């Protein structure tokens, strides 16, 4: 740079001092630092200004923390030919999109990787003044891999446990992780831990701690992650899941068609598995059918009368309820009613017959008697007459 200045000054010695200074100071390369999100494309721009000198070559160099020596990876000649020297992971991902005539040396790196991070140098070699360069630091941001996990599913209890963990892994720079615990107030607290990786990324874990109560079950606690590689902060929805054994077991009669159905319901998490049994008696195969938490009475006969018990169980415990089933009800009552009605009908019919017979029978008797009397009389008269 200094040598170039002297050469220029020497060439322009006849011109006024002001002009010499202006033209020599103005030859410069412009470009600036860049930041790219891993996986995206980035343009590294550089341009040589204020010179009409002949371009000999544009050279791109790179150095990193691990390799602090600058080494060339791309040569661009005025003819348009480009030459990759030591691609160091940039092969097939770097393209020149400048213009030699315009002394623009810009390159594009596609699908940026974390390893691309480093300091790039854009070097213009011009004749006769020499070499001008600019350093372009490239920062690669890595967005976090986010998730909400539970290592040990919380079970109802009285001691504080980890209810859930929010993870923002492998991020660069470190992500900001917090829980939105509005639903809980001061009943929960958070503990945040971070781990640095050798490649410059950081994993942050934020644990949500609280007492696993039944009231905490199914509460919404979103985890919010913010980091510069994310366009906007992310909210990971999460619903707390507390496991608890079946509590009380309720058995209700479901007034459905066609058969009579008993419903067994227990509050538990996860959902209970239900088992129906008949207490102290064999299961009446043809009269009753158990299906999950329902008990169907198929034929309403007294065969199914008895005590039935419903056991609800999940991996955390079990609870039992029972129901007495007694079928006098409809069928036998109806039979009795029918029998009584038939009896009454029969009785009424019999009474009617008797009355009819009695009434008409008496008339016949009396007329018969009259006839016979008459006959007897006449017989007597005849006898008398014969006599």
Ligand X SMILES: *[C@@H]1O[C@H](CO)[C@@H](O)[C@H](O)[C@H]1NC(C)=O
The residues that touch ligand X, with contacts defined as CB under 6 A, are 99, 101-102, 114, 142, 170, 191, 193, 197, 199, 201, 207, 226, 228, 233, 248, 250, 265-267
At its nearest, how many Å lie between ligand X and the CB of residue 125? 19
Nearer to ligand X (CB atom), residue 207 or residue 278: 207
Whose structure tokens read 């029918």?
A: 338
Q: What are phi and psi of 386, to 5 degrees?
A: -65, -40
At its nearest, how many Å lie between ligand X and the CB of residue 87? 19
At its nearest, how many Å lie between ligand X and the CB of residue 227? 6
Nearer to ligand X (CB atom), residue 93 or residue 207: 207
At its nearest, how many Å lie between ligand X and the CB of residue 116? 11
Nearer to ligand X (CB atom), residue 34 or residue 327: 34
Give the side-chain half-sphere CA count within 13 A for 222.
Answer: 9
DSSP string, 24-82: HHH-EEE---EEEETTS-EEE--EEES--SEEEEEEEEEE-SS--S-EEEEEE-TTS-E
State the Cα–Cα distance between residues 354 and 346, nearest whole angstrom. Answer: 12
- Number of other residues whose CB lies within 10 A of the CB of residue 110: 13
At its nearest, how many Å lie between ligand X and the CB of residue 107? 14
Nearer to ligand X (CB atom), residue 11 or residue 265: 265
At its nearest, how many Å lie between ligand X and the CB of residue 185? 21
At its nearest, how many Å lie between ligand X and the CB of residue 257? 23
State the Cα–Cα distance between residues 135 and 253, nearest whole angstrom. Answer: 82
Q: Are 307 and 324 in contact (CB under 8 A)?
A: yes
Q: Are 75 and 87 in contact (CB under 8 A)?
A: no
Nearer to ligand X (CB atom), residue 81 or residue 387: 81
Nearer to ligand X (CB atom), residue 8 or residue 45: 45
Q: Are 304 and 287 in contact (CB under 8 A)?
A: yes
At its nearest, how many Å lie between ligand X and the CB of residue 293? 11
| 247-286: burial string, b at 16+ Cβ within 10 Å, e else | eebebeeeeeeeebbbbbbbbbbeebebbbebeeeeebee
- Number of other residues whose CB lies within 10 A of the CB of residue 109: 21
At its nearest, how many Å lie between ligand X and the CB of residue 143? 10
Nearer to ligand X (CB atom), residue 287 or residue 312: 312
Whole-Å CA distances, 45 to 34, 127, 149: 9, 22, 43
Nearer to ligand X (CB atom), residue 205 or residue 300: 205
3-state secondary structure 264-324: EEECCECCCEEEEEECCCCCCCCCEEEECCEEEECCCCHHHCEEEEEEEEECCEEEEEEEE
Nearer to ligand X (CB atom), residue 102 or residue 371: 102
């Amino acid at each position: 740079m200094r040598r170039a200045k002297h050469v220029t000054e020497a060439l322009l010695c006849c011109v006024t001092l002001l002009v010499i200074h202006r033209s020599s100071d103005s030859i410069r390369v412009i470009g600036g630092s860049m930041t790219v999100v891993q996986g995206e494309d980035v343009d590294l721009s550089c341009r040589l200004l204020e010179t009409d000198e002949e371009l000999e070559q544009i050279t791109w160099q790179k150095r990193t923390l691990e390799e602090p020596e600058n080494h060339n990876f791309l040569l661009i000649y005025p003819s348009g030919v480009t030459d990759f020297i030591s691609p160091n992971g940039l092969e097939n991902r770097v393209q020149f999109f400048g213009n030699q005539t315009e002394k623009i040396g810009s390159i594009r790196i596609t699908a940026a990787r974390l390893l691309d991070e480093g300091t790039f140098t854009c070097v213009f070699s011009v004749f006769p003044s020499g070499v001008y360069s600019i350093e372009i630091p490239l920062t690669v941001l890595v967005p976090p891999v986010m998730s909400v996990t539970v290592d040990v599913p919380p079970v109802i209890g009285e001691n504080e446990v980890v209810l859930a963990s929010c993870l923002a892994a492998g991020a660069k720079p470190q992500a900001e992780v917090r829980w939105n615990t509005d639903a809980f107030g001061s009943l929960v607290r958070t503990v945040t831990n971070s781990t640095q990786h050798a490649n410059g990324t950081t994993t942050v874990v934020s644990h949500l701690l609280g007492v696993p109560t039944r009231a905490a079950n199914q509460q919404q606690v979103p985890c919010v992650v913010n980091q510069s590689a994310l366009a906007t902060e992310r909210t990971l929805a999460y619903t707390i899941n507390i496991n608890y054994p079946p509590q009380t077991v309720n058995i209700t009669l479901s007034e459905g068609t066609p058969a009579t159905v008993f419903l067994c319901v227990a509050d538990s998490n996860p959902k209970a598995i239900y088992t129906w049994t008949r207490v102290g008696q064999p299961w009446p195969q043809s009269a009753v059918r158990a299906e999950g938490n329902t008990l169907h009475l198929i034929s309403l006969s007294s065969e199914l009368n008895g005590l039935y018990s419903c056991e609800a169980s999940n991996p955390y415990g079990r609870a039992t309820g029972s129901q007495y089933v007694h079928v006098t009800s409809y069928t036998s009552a109806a039979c009795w009613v029918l029998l009584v009605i038939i009896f009454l009908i029969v009785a009424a019919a019999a009474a009617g017959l008797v009355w009819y017979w009695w009434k008409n029978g008496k008339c016949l008797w009396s007329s018969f008697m009259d006839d016979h009397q008459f006959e007897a009389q006449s017989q007597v008269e005849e006898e008398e007459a014969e006599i």
